[in-house]
Chain A
Amino acid sequence: MVNKINVSEVSQVLRKQLAGMDADPKFDEIGTVLQVGDGVIRLYGLHNAEASELLQFENGVHAIVMNLEDDNVGAVLLGSSSEIKEGDTAVRTKRVASIMVGNDMLGRVINPLGEALDGKGKIGGELYEMPFERKAPGVIYRQPVNQPLQTGLTAIDAMIPIGRGQRELIIGDRQTGKTSIAIDTIINQRRNFEEGDPVYCIYVAIGQKGSTVASIVETLRRHKALEYTVVVAANASDPAAMQYYAPFAGAAIGEFFRDTGRHALVVYDDLSKQAVAYREISLILRRPSGREAYPGDIFYLHSRLLERAAKIINQQEVAEQMNDVPESLKGKIKGGGSLTALPIIETQAGDIAAYIPTNVISITDGQIFLDVDAFISGNRPAIDVGISVSRVGGNAQIKTMKRIAGTLKIDQAQYRELEAFSKFGSDLDAVTAMTIDKGRKNERLLVQPVHSPLEVEKQIAVLYCGTKGLLKDLALEKIDAFKKEFLARLESLHRENVLNPIRKGIFNDEIIAVIEQVAADVILSLSV
């Protein structure tokens, strides 16, 4: 870095410094550290400090004000506690904790302060200061969710559709594929990016192992998804304050895209760890603890974070008036943008009635529940259709999908119920046997390998075969082969006359006839 500094630049800066030297005294407000420990400090002085204000120590370490008391200020350190001693002085920066966001952040791995972690140097380009804490857009600046956000996972896009601006919780035990659903959704946005209507993605890793984050980044890079993605990482070894602020940093980056009229998707992986980090900070700050030792405002923590996901109104003149617009974005607001949130919660032994899961379930617009048993039996994504729901996404689902998969969820629920009864071994009547057979085959059709999202037109074509009973003569174990062959034939022979029209929303008798013909041919070839 030193080698890069050239002489003219040095003289220029020195001249500027000389001109400004002692021109007018600059007074800084200071506080003295009374106590330091476990990432939390208590300072004396700083009588005018504001909540969430950023403080700076002489050695460059930052802290954020969290407790304002009569005679002292409690703050959380964003660096190591060992670098701060009692008696050190911190200076008010007079700005609330924020992150500098810009388009050049895409493709980068950063920490919650916006500092690069990928060794590719400082984030360049034009940067905008976005505060961590910001009020969510008011009612009049929003509009109902009406555009789909395709995850590329047939089971989700057909039965639990997600719309742009929605908050959909992904919940389940450890090792049930929660992160995979989020990563697949990010990978599936590749097509939008290529078509020039990108959904920018922000993946926030909270309290994860460094190696896990590295492998996620590698997966995104391998699937060419990193180009439109920002990875915010606060690893397990980072201070609790960093883990606490990581989702807020992710939301701030998402808001930058949302408020400039673009679409963004933010994944918080996972909020249970953030809640634990917040509990740690709160307990050290001696805030009164409540259920499971979480502080009383743990619900507010998640609700204010998730409320920032929104679909902004399309009317430019209304959008411009949006509340709490950061200074740096003034004059740059564009309507019609959206921020979709996919928070992740890890349950313990499938207990969704625990404190944090119930909180987040009640905040979000639906949940995708992942079941350990389904995962083990190979039904991946291991979605438990019975308790998974999307409260607003139905309005955003594309019409053809709604027509084809409208009854799929109920059919599958009915199949599960009948299947449970059939285990008693009694003879089944023909209708029941048919329902069970169709349900089993549909279940197999919805199985999808990891990191291979399916385009929506292909999902519709496959689902058509399943829901219309075209597979009734095919053996269950041949469903996977059918799906592969059927899609390959459609892609190579009928891209123009079937797949592209479906994508445009056309689903007429001609297309149906081709699909049925191709399905019959494939079934015939597999039966030999």
Chain B
Amino acid sequence: MSIGLIPARYAKALLEFAGENSNAELVYEEAKVIVLVLNKTKEVNLALRNPKLPDEDKQELMLKLTGKELSDTLKRFMDLLLENKREDLLRQIMLKYIDFYRKDNKINHTKLITATPIDAETEQRLIKLIEAQVGGTVELEKQIRPEILGGFQIEVNHLRWDATLSGQLKQLRKDMLNGNEK
């Protein structure tokens, strides 16, 4: 598990190279899709880690990860990973790249979870509120999860504010059980 600084070094190199070629943003968008795919499909992860799978097959797989043709920068980067036998660290490198890119461009990735869709006005108000609090721009990802019953949950830069009804009910249950057993 000790992979140390490897993902950070590759991610930094990719960011600098993409910056020089002026397509850091494009790579950022691609990286987000790759992470999503790798998170959702365990098989792809396993395939990349499989030492028996030939490099050609891995290359083909890596180039098709986003479902579209990859940018030249990322294509070259995938080749480099295969050459250095670091393809198993693709997810970590992409995660690190996303982190670095967001930090450089002061982007605050925000995930908003609600029980029902919210209107555009509330969304704008919320974005302004968060921007005022943390500075920089907000990149909003919306998710509808009816099981939270009501309220909302916001995640900004690995911080979570749980203001959902289900969360409050859970807390209430905990308090009551603790209070009852004392």
Contacts and interface: CB of A to CB of B under 8 A. Distances in A.
Interface string A427-439: 0000000000000
A26 B164 CA distance: 12
Given A1-B177, A86-B42, A17 B161 contact: no
B159 A29 contact: yes
A91 to B, nearest CB: 7
A285 B1 contact: yes
Q: Is the interface of B mostly helix, strand, loop or mixed?
A: helix
B92 interface: yes
A71 interface: yes
Contacts of B1: 40, 42, 67, 69, 74, 284-286
Interface residues of A, number: 42
A13 B2 contact: no
A70 B180 contact: no
A28 B160 contact: yes
B54 interface: no
B86 interface: no
B157 to A, nearest CB: 9
Contacts of B39: 86-87
A34 B5 CA distance: 17
A14 B159 contact: no
B99 to A, nearest CB: 8
B149 interface: no
Given A13-B172, A17-B172, A21-B168, A69 B3 contact: yes
Contacts of A14: 172
Interface stretch (A4-12, A186-194, A314-322): A4-12
From A42, A44, A74, residue with most partner B Cβ within 10 Å: A44
Contacts of A86: 39, 42
Contact of A124 (B168, B179, B182): B182
B155 interface: yes
A71 B172 contact: no
Interface string B163-182: 10000100110011101111
A71 B177 contact: no
Interface in A441-465: none
B2 to A, nearest CB: 5
B92 A71 contact: yes
Contacts of B159: 27-30
Contacts of B163: 22, 25
A469 interface: no
A46 B157 CA distance: 10
A4 B163 CA distance: 29
Contact of B158 (A25, A30, A67, A284): A30
A31 interface: yes
B91 A46 contact: no
Q: Nearest 9 pairs between A and B by C-beta?
A: A45-B158, A286-B1, A27-B159, A28-B160, A30-B160, A25-B161, A122-B181, A285-B1, A74-B1
Given A71-B7, A71-B92, 12 more contacts: A1-B180, A5-B176, A9-B176, A9-B180, A28-B159, A28-B161, A47-B158, A67-B1, A69-B2, A69-B3, A70-B7, A86-B39
18 contacts: A5-B176, A9-B179, A16-B175, A17-B172, A26-B161, A26-B162, A27-B160, A28-B160, A29-B160, A30-B159, A30-B160, A40-B1, A44-B92, A71-B95, A86-B39, A86-B42, A87-B39, A285-B1
Interface of A: 1, 4-5, 9-10, 13-14, 16-17, 21-22, 25-31, 34, 40, 42, 44-47, 67, 69-72, 74, 86-87, 89, 91, 121-122, 124, 284-287
Interface of B: 1-5, 7-8, 39, 42, 91-92, 95-96, 155, 158-163, 168, 171-172, 175-177, 179-182
